[in-house]
């Protein structure tokens, strides 16, 4: 079975959990005899391509046809497939480039197979990541998707998160192949109740256009069913997994202090609940001084958190590291004694699994998808700062816990493999195809 | 003479409240009064009161032919006294009939027997005193918490003066032997051993309402039929279960009370068994064989060992953290500390930290207030943190200065004089403005 998969990022160029999840998932899916063509807006060239065929949308030559250019010579080139591009994309192409496009028109079929040759001529530029012109890029991605869907041969379309839903829909329209969308997060998780209408509309459109929906937890499933008006029968939960660690760089940080280290790792935004972590830290520090708290990540609440730490007078024991990437994350976890994920709303949450894999005890909020499957974790309500503080205090004070988490937590997390997610997804494909 | 012993265990722990680390040193009250009271009120209504009434009726109806045995833990009696005196009264009514026997236990359903002989002895004594005080009966047969037993525990029990002990009829101690005989300890044949028939006991306690069970529904006649078909030479059948089985674990709507109501008639009319008490068996019965139990056994799970309480590191650490005080406690006079020492030893506190139930899941934690073993552990250790401080600060008897009578008079005179001077200062108005 061949899958055309639309993603937004792929390791090592990641800004969130989505890239990691896509990597783990595609890797496991290839073991299930699934062939994947993975599309990202921008391929950097250094991604791990051993398992999946990775295509950067920025490498797809898009032949631009403007109505004003519809002259005799273009009409004659019957083998050229056209992609309609809106006027908002004009700035990406200079007049000189237009000239080249027109002159090269006869060769375009060949050029399609030699992406590098055409790269500078007629591709759409993507910034990648969550840039300022995100909305714009999402639209552009969908237009490119239409082209891609015609170039490749596949059986089913799989789109990860709202950024790619429009691309998925476009591909479905062109190819007539069924569309599966994979919900890693919804706008309600990211923004609480201050939902961005534009994003919501895209999500809703994607969910309704999809033939099947995969959610990462039952928590997300209920959001999809209740807030987007999707029939429950269309939605299936496939829990994420976690990969084995392979450090590519030597250990960067050494734990040089005797103090216990309690870590928060994630974007410092409303969704991740950093302020609850901070308040709990202040409570623990009232009683126990030899504990260091680390908030690793960046985000819109970063400054607010620093001010609050200073206001509570705990800056001496409360550290900010900024955004951590790749192996730094693993290193940070390896020197931690407790990992806290106080997310207000977390569709799944892979990071506690990574922490457990590094033998770190975890405290997670009940408002996370991962709490549905983890047993060897302390689960608290994100707002229950007292419980959180108590759990942190307990783990750093009472030695027995460490050992227990090492014995049971490691085993538990080792059993949470992407393979089971891949199996579930394969059966979703099969059902979708047989119903189509 | 063939005998059936019906035995009921009544136990309610003093459950701990959510005790945060910031309570350490500031708040010394550890118990969740609301939870304990509401649990008791519910169980009293669903189980204790209706069941006591039923048993009383049966005893009266059968005029001496129906007898039962009880083990009631000290913490259960204390909670009855505190919240539901009517339950105590109905147990007293039962005791007055003379057809009810009470067994001895460690006071607070503790695991003291595997830790300290002295503490164990003290708790058993405390328990039998309590039974004597409340029910005017002296226990003669011993029954350890959770049926925990080994040859060594048997020796301790015999040394305390008990001639019989009730233990679990675990297959790994019996082997091919049947639980339906009287045995004696291999270490000392003076200690007679009664065995719980766990198969038939659990048919009632665990499987009664299980519709997937091939013997469902279980009726009194069916039970009597099984008893009748027991091998001819088997002469004792010990049916032992939690008292809360009736009405709480097995809801009234399952017909459990009707089963109990008809059971005596069915057995007395259709079999040659009669109801009796453990001490009667101990008095007349002759052991058929010796039992050797070198390793500690219990009634729990398939393994029937002590792993549900001390199976993992959390449990062992918490257990050691508490019992490190075992030697200090003799010197403590503060009655509040002694009371907490008693309540904290409750075996349920360790049971809540068990990770075994994650794995098999077929033995639900009875009313476990904690979502995970980790939370149970943290909460308990917070309490221990506070308890440690209190024990450390409390005056110990051996540290107190001993006075002779003359010395004491001198001290009193000295302090009285100082006190008089102070009072004089005050009357003269020598007070800081």
Give Cβ neighbours of residue B194 (< 8 Å, ≥ 6 apart): B5, B141, B164, B165, B166, B167, B182, B236, B238, B278, B281, B282
Please tell me the distance from the alpha carbon of residue B202 to that of residue B208, in angstroms, as a whole number: 8
Tell me how far the alpha carbon of residue A259 is from its chain's centroid.
Answer: 34
Q: Which chain B residues are Cβ-neighbours of A399 within 8 angstroms?
A: 317
Inter-chain residue contact A400 with B374, CB threshold 8 Å: no
CA-nearest residue of chain B to A394? B378
Nearest-Å Rg of the Cα atoms of chain B is 25
CA atoms within 13 A on the CB side of B375: 19
* Min distance B362 CA to chain A CA atoms (Å): 16
Disruptive mutation site among B16, B17, B19, B21 for chain A (greatest number of A CBs within 10 Å): B21
Q: A366 at the B interface (CB within 8 A)?
A: no
A16/A322: higher pLDDT: A322
CATH number, position B135: 3.20.110.20
Tell me the pLDDT band of B425, cut-offs 50, 70 and 90.
confident
**Mean pLDDT value of segment A192-217:** 89
Tell me the pLDDT band of A129, cut-offs 50, 70 and 90.
very low
pLDDT at A68: 28
In a domain, B16, yes or no: yes
In a domain, B98, yes or no: yes
- Give the structural domain span for B54: 2-291
Q: Is the pLDDT of residue A96 over 60?
A: no
Inter-chain residue contact A390 with B374, CB threshold 8 Å: no
Q: What is the ipTM of this complex?
A: 0.71
CB contacts < 8 Å between A and B, how many? 70
pLDDT at A279: 95
Q: Which chain A residues are Cβ-neighbours of B314 within 8 angstroms?
A: 400-401, 404
Inter-chain residue contact B381 with A283, CB threshold 8 Å: no
Quote the tokens at residue A347. 């569709």
In a domain, B178, yes or no: yes
Q: A105 at the B interface (CB within 8 A)?
A: no
Q: By the 8 A CB rule, do A182 and A204 touch?
A: no
pTM attached to this predicted model: 0.78
* Min distance A31 CA to chain B CA atoms (Å): 29
Please tell me the distance from the alpha carbon of residue B40 to that of residue B84, in angstroms, as a whole number: 8
Q: A415 at the B interface (CB within 8 A)?
A: no
Inter-chain residue contact B20 with A407, CB threshold 8 Å: no
Please tell me the distance from the alpha carbon of residue B262 to that of residue B276, in angstroms, as a whole number: 17
Q: By the 8 A CB rule, do B318 and A400 touch?
A: yes
Q: Which chain A residues are Cβ-neighbours of B316 within 8 angstroms?
A: 400
What mean pLDDT, rounded, does chain B reach?
Answer: 90
Pick the CATH number of A1-60+123-241+417-436 from 3.40.1130.10, 3.40.50.720, 3.40.50.2000, 1.10.760.10: 3.40.50.2000
Q: Domain A260-414 classified CATH 3.40.50.2000?
A: yes
Please tell me the distance from the alpha carbon of residue A275 to that of residue A304, in angstroms, as a whole number: 9
Residue B214 burial by CB count (10 A; 0-12/13-18/19+): exposed, middle or buried? exposed
Please tell me the distance from the alpha carbon of residue A333 to that of residue A336, in angstroms, as a whole number: 5
* Min distance A19 CA to chain B CA atoms (Å): 32
How would you classify the pairing of strands B236-242 and B2-10?
parallel
Q: For residue B180, what is the DSSP state?
A: S
**Number of structural domains, chain B?**
1
A87/A328: higher pLDDT: A328
Please tell me the distance from the alpha carbon of residue B6 to that of residue B264, in angstroms, as a whole number: 10
Q: Which chain B residues are Cβ-neighbours of A377 within 8 angstroms?
A: 372, 374
In a domain, B113, yes or no: yes
In a domain, B402, yes or no: no
Q: By the 8 A CB rule, do A240 and A368 touch?
A: no
Strand, coil or helix: B72:
strand
Query: Kind and range of the H or E element at A423?
Result: helix A418-435
Q: Which chain B residues are Cβ-neighbours of A398 within 8 angstroms?
A: 317, 377-378, 381
Q: Which chain B residues are Cβ-neighbours of A375 within 8 angstroms?
A: 358, 372
Tell me how far the alpha carbon of residue B105 is from its chain's centroid.
Answer: 6
Share of chain B above pLDDT 70, in %: 97
Q: Is the pLDDT of residue B220 over 90?
A: yes
Q: By the 8 A CB rule, do A56 and A43 touch?
A: yes
Please tell me the distance from the alpha carbon of residue B91 to that of residue B8, in angstroms, as a whole number: 12
Q: A391 at the B interface (CB within 8 A)?
A: yes
Q: Which chain A residues are Cβ-neighbours of B385 within 8 angstroms?
A: 397
pLDDT at A435: 84
pLDDT at A104: 44
Q: Is the pLDDT of residue B221 over 90?
A: yes
Q: Is the pLDDT of residue A86 over 60?
A: no
Q: Is the pLDDT of residue A74 over 80?
A: no
Inter-chain residue contact A394 with B21, CB threshold 8 Å: yes
Q: Is the pLDDT of residue A5 over 70?
A: yes
In a domain, B325, yes or no: no
Please tell me the distance from the alpha carbon of residue B410 to that of residue A46, in angstroms, as a whole number: 92
pLDDT at A111: 32
Quote the tokens at residue A160. 């990860």
pLDDT at A45: 65
How would you classify the pairing of strands B183-185 and B192-196?
antiparallel
Q: Is the pLDDT of residue A245 over 70?
A: no
CA-nearest residue of chain A to B24? A287
Please tell me the distance from the alpha carbon of residue A363 to that of residue A360, in angstroms, as a whole number: 10
Inter-chain residue contact A390 with B314, CB threshold 8 Å: no
**Mean pLDDT value of segment A3-32:** 80
Query: Kind and range of the H or E element at A160?
Result: strand A156-160
In a domain, B141, yes or no: yes
Residue B59 burial by CB count (10 A; 0-12/13-18/19+): exposed, middle or buried? buried
pLDDT at A107: 38
Quote the tokens at residue A73. 């010579």
Long-range contacts of B233-236 (CB under 8 A, 24+ apart): B234/B2, B234/B178, B234/B180, B234/B181, B235/B1, B235/B2, B235/B3, B235/B180, B235/B181, B235/B182, B236/B2, B236/B3, B236/B4, B236/B5, B236/B180, B236/B181, B236/B182, B236/B194, B236/B281, B236/B285
Tell me the pLDDT band of A39, cut-offs 50, 70 and 90.
confident
Phi then psi for residue A291, to 5 deg, are -130, 135
Inter-chain residue contact B20 with A390, CB threshold 8 Å: yes
Strand, coil or helix: B333:
coil
Inter-chain residue contact A389 with B21, CB threshold 8 Å: yes
**pLDDT tens for each residue of B292-315:** 998 888 877 777 788 888 888 889
Tell me the pLDDT band of A117, cut-offs 50, 70 and 90.
very low
Q: Is the pLDDT of residue A32 over 90?
A: no
**pLDDT tens for each residue of B68-127:** 999 999 999 999 999 999 999 999 999 999 999 999 999 999 999 999 999 999 999 999
Interface of B with A (CB under 8 A): 20-22, 24, 312-314, 316-318, 355, 358, 371-375, 377-378, 381-382, 385
**pLDDT tens for each residue of B30-76:** 999 999 999 999 999 999 999 999 999 999 999 989 999 999 999 99
pLDDT at B255: 93
What mean pLDDT, rounded, does chain A reach?
Answer: 78
Inter-chain residue contact A399 with B355, CB threshold 8 Å: no
Phi then psi for residue A82, to 5 deg, are -105, 145
The answer to whether domain A1-60+123-241+417-436 and domain A260-414 are alike in fold is: yes
pLDDT at A349: 87
Tell me the pLDDT band of A254, cut-offs 50, 70 and 90.
low
Q: Is the pLDDT of residue A103 over 60?
A: no
**Mean pLDDT value of segment A71-87:** 32
Please tell me the distance from the alpha carbon of residue B396 to that of residue B334, in angstroms, as a whole number: 9
Quote the tokens at residue A217. 């937890």
Q: By the 8 A CB rule, do B248 and B43 touch?
A: yes
Q: Is the pLDDT of residue B433 over 70?
A: no
In a domain, B185, yes or no: yes
Query: Kind and range of the H or E element at B70?
Result: strand B68-72
Nearest-Å Rg of the Cα atoms of chain A is 24
Question: Rounded to 10 degrees, what is the CA torsion of B132, B136, B139, B140?
Answer: 130
Please tell me the distance from the alpha carbon of residue B7 to that of residue B16, in angstroms, as a whole number: 28
Disruptive mutation site among A398, A407, A415 for chain B (greatest number of B CBs within 10 Å): A398
**pLDDT tens for each residue of B117-167:** 999 999 999 999 999 999 999 999 999 999 999 999 999 999 999 999 999
Inter-chain residue contact B314 with A393, CB threshold 8 Å: no
**pLDDT tens for each residue of A311-340:** 998 988 999 988 887 778 888 888 899 999
Inter-chain residue contact B381 with A397, CB threshold 8 Å: yes
**pLDDT tens for each residue of B310-350:** 888 889 999 999 999 998 998 898 999 999 999 999 999 99
Tell me the pLDDT band of A60, cut-offs 50, 70 and 90.
low
Domain ranges for chain A, please list them.
1-60+123-241+417-436, 63-121, 260-414
pLDDT at A126: 55
Residue among A375, A386, A398 whose CB faces B20 most closely: A386
Please tell me the distance from the alpha carbon of residue B169 to that of residue B148, in angstroms, as a whole number: 11
**pLDDT tens for each residue of B341-396:** 999 999 999 988 887 766 443 444 456 888 888 889 999 999 999 999 999 988 88
């Amino acid at each position: 079975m061949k899958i055309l998969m639309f993603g937004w990022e792929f390791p090592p160029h990641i800004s969130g959990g989505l890239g990691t999840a896509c990597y783990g998932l595609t890797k496991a899916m290839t073991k299930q005899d699934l062939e994947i063509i993975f599309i990202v807006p921008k391929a950097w060239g250094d991604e791990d391509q051993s398992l999946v065929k990775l295509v950067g949308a920025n490498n797809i030559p898009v032949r631009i046809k403007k109505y004003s250019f519809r002259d005799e010579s273009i009409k004659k080139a019957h083998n050229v497939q056209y992609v309609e591009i809106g006027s908002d994309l004009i700035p990406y192409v200079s007049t000189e480039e237009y000239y080249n496009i027109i002159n090269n028109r006869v060769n375009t079929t060949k050029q399609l197979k030699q992406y590098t040759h055409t790269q500078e001529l007629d591709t759409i530029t993507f910034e990648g990541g969550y840039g300022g012109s995100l909305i714009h890029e999402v639209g552009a991605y969908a237009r490119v998707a239409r082209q891609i869907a015609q170039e490749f041969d596949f059986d089913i379309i799989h789109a990860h998160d709202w950024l790619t839903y429009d691309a998925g829909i476009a591909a479905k329209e062109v190819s007539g192949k069924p569309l599966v969308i994979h919900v890693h997060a919804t706008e309600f998780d990211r923004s609480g109740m201050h939902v961005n209408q534009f994003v919501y509309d895209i999500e809703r459109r994607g969910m309704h256009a999809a033939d099947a929906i995969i959610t990462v937890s039952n928590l997300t499933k209920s959001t999809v069913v209740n807030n987007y008006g999707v029939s429950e029968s269309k939605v299936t939960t496939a829990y994420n997994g976690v990969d084995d660690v392979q450090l590519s760089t030597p250990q960067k940080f050494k734990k040089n202090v005797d103090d216990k280290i309690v870590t928060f790792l994630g974007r410092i935004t409303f969704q991740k609940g950093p302020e609850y972590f901070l308040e709990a830290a202040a409570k623990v520090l009232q009683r126990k001084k030899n504990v260091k708290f680390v908030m690793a990540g960046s985000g819109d609440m970063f400054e607010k958190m620093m001010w609050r730490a200073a206001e509570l007078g705990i800056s001496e024991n409360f550290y900010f590291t900024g955004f951590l990437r790749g192996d730094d994350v693993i290193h940070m976890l390896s020197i931690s004694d407790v990992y806290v994920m106080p997310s207000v709303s977390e569709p799944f949450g892979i990071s506690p699994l990574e922490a457990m894999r590094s033998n770190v005890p975890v405290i997670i909020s009940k408002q996370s998808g991962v709490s549905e499957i983890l047993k060897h974790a302390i689960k608290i309500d994100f707002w229950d700062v007292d419980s959180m503080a108590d759990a942190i205090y307990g783990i750093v004070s009472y030695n027995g816990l460490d050992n227990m988490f090492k014995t049971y937590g490691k085993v538990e997390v080792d059993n949470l493999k992407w393979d089971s997610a891949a199996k579930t997804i394969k059966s979703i494909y099969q059902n979708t195809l047989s119903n189509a | 003479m063939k005998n059936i012993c019906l035995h009921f265990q009544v136990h309610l722990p003093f459950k701990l409240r959510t005790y945060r680390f910031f309570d350490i040193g500031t708040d010394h009250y550890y118990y969740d009064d609301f939870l304990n009271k509401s649990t008791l009120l519910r169980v009293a209504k669903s189980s204790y009161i209706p069941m006591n009434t039923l048993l009383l009726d049966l005893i009266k109806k059968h005029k001496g032919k129906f007898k039962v045995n009880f083990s009631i833990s000290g913490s259960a009696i204390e909670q009855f006294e505190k919240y539901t005196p009517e339950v105590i009264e109905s147990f007293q009514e039962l005791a007055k009939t003379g057809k009810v026997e009470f067994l001895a236990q460690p006071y607070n359903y503790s695991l003291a027997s595997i830790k300290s002989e002295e503490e164990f002895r003290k708790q058993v004594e405390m328990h039998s005193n309590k039974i004597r005080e409340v029910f005017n009966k002296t226990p003669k047969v011993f029954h350890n918490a959770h049926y925990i037993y080994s040859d060594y525990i048997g020796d301790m029990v015999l040394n305390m003066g008990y001639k019989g002990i009730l233990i679990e009829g675990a297959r790994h101690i019996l082997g091919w032997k049947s639980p339906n005989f009287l045995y004696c300890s291999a270490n000392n044949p003076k200690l007679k051993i009664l065995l719980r028939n766990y198969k038939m006991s659990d048919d009632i306690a665990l499987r009664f309402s299980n519709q997937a069970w091939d013997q469902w529904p279980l009726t009194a006649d069916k039970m009597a039929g099984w008893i009748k078909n027991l091998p001819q030479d088997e002469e004792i059948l010990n049916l032992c279960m939690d008292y809360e089985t009736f009405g709480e674990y097995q809801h009234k709507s399952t017909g459990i009370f009707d089963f109990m109501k008809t059971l005596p008639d069915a057995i007395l009319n259709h079999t040659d068994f009669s109801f009796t008490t453990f001490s009667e068996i101990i008095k007349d019965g002759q052991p058929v064989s010796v039992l050797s139990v070198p390793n500690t056994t219990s009634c729990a799970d398939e393994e029937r060992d002590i792993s549900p309480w001390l199976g993992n590191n959390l449990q062992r650490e918490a257990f050691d953290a508490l019992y490190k005080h075992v030697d200090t406690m003799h010197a403590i006079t503060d009655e509040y500390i002694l009371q907490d020492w008693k309540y904290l030893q409750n075996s349920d506190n360790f049971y809540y930290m068990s990770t075994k139930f994650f794995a098999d899941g077929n033995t639900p934690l009875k009313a476990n207030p904690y979502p995970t073993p980790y939370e149970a552990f943290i909460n308990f250790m917070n309490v221990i943190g506070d308890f440690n401080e209190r024990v450390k600060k409390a005056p110990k008897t051996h540290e107190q200065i001993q006075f002779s009578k003359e010395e004491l008079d001198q001290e009193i005179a000295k302090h009285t004089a100082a006190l008089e001077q102070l009072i004089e200062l005050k009357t003269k108005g020598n007070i800081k403005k």
